[in-house]
Amino acid sequence: MREAILAAAEELFSTYGFNAVSVRDIARAAGANPGSVTYHFKTKDGLLLEIYRRHCGPMNLRRSELLAAARRVRDLQDRLEAIVRAYVLPAFTSGSDLAGGGTRFTRLRAIMSAEGNEVVKRIIAQTFDDTSDAFIDAIHESLPHIPRTDLVWRGHFLLGALYYTLVTPERVSRLSRGSADGTDAGQAIEELVRATVASLQAAPLDQTLARRKTTIAEIAQGER
């Protein structure tokens, strides 16, 4: 019954969001009574936390293992690529064995992030912040000339790309007119790694803004 409740809640949350789903909805979908939900998980918040734990515990552990190996790579370029791959790869692991994301849980994460619910924000922070900090620190060690704040922004963009790639692979197939298969996890991982590494290595924002101001000033001077 506990597993049935978890599966029902995950399906409902990933479809309708956290706010729109009630304990009664979850119990009905699981073929249980509402008392069973509160018996096993106390509250709807506790149920969502358990969904995150059972998926993200193995995923974060795998990321940490791969990150430790990546940090031992001597060449800085190869190390950076290995660090990014260590973050991306576990998210593509099948959700059936609870060793990673899976499409349904990734969709749930995207919806939870968009809702802005304070409970959800706390659960996301509790689940991911330590691992995310470790990856940002590792990237900063490989790119010490890039301000850490810039790397936080770029890592944030990676997370959005990761969500979208996992949830809507058919868009790649459609827009490429069939020349690419959006469901090809291997290619998706390599494309994400390549694009992210290029983004991380871009010039710091303050340098870019300084060059832009200089260019605008030169144009203005030439028009006088």
pLDDT in tens, 158-185: 988 988 888 888 999 999 999 999 989 9
In a domain, 85, yes or no: yes
Q: Is 12 exposed, middle or buried (0-12, 13-18, 19+ CB in 10 A)?
A: buried
* Rounded Cα–Cα distance for residues 97 and 219 (Å): 59
Give yes or no: residues 13 and 96 share one domain. no
The CATH number covering residue 150 comes to: 1.10.357.10
How many structural domains compose the chain? Answer: 2
Average pLDDT estimate for 70-89: 96
* Helix/strand/coil for 133: helix
Residue 105, pLDDT score: 82
Rounded to two decimals, what is the model's pTM? Answer: 0.81
Containing structural domain, residue 7? 1-42
In a domain, 223, yes or no: no
pLDDT at 65 over 70: yes
* Helix/strand/coil for 17: coil
In a domain, 210, yes or no: no
Give yes or no: residues 197 and 144 share one domain. yes
Give yes or no: residues 96 and 185 share one domain. yes
Give yes or no: residues 195 and 151 share one domain. yes
Residue 150, pLDDT score: 96
pLDDT in tens, 94-124: 544 444 446 678 788 888 878 878 888 899 8
* Rounded Cα–Cα distance for residues 210 and 99 (Å): 45
Confidence bin at 40 (pLDDT 50/70/90): very high
Give yes or no: residues 92 and 168 share one domain. yes
Interior angle at CA 57, CA 95 and CA 132, nearest 5? 105
Give yes or no: residues 87 and 137 share one domain. yes
Give yes or no: residues 101 and 174 share one domain. yes
